[in-house]
Amino acid sequence: MIIRIVQMTFQTDKIDEFTKLFEERKHIIKGFPGCTYLELWQDTTHKNIFFTYSNWNSENDLNHYRFSEFFKETWGLTKALFADKPQAWSVNKAG
């Protein structure tokens, strides 16, 4: 299993636009083969910082999503709302 964490910092006036976009598209993301879990987290101090936390059965499943037309479209809409460069990690549970 692959855990994918993506940190995104948004322009303060674009937070509502992002959360609406995520709500509209999260069911499609969850429907991609190999996606077993998806959550959106918000920083408690800096309200314009969000994280997506998702679980994928394999690196191939994650890459299938990441290279899809749906992802390209969604990421393009999301990037337009950023205030800073995003960061992403693919990790496994240790131990």
For 43-86, write each residue's pLDDT tens digit.
Answer: 999 999 999 999 999 999 999 999 999 999 999 999 999 999 99
Using CA atoms, how far apart are residues 62 and 9, in angstroms rounded to an integer? 22
The pairing of strands 35-42 and 87-91 is unpaired
Query: What's the number of domains the chain is made of?
Result: 1
Q: Is residue 90 in some structural domain?
A: no
Q: Is residue 94 in some structural domain?
A: no
Instruction: State the pTM of this model.
Output: 0.94
Q: Is residue 21 in some structural domain?
A: yes
Q: Is residue 41 in some structural domain?
A: yes
Range of the domain at 38: 2-47+64-85
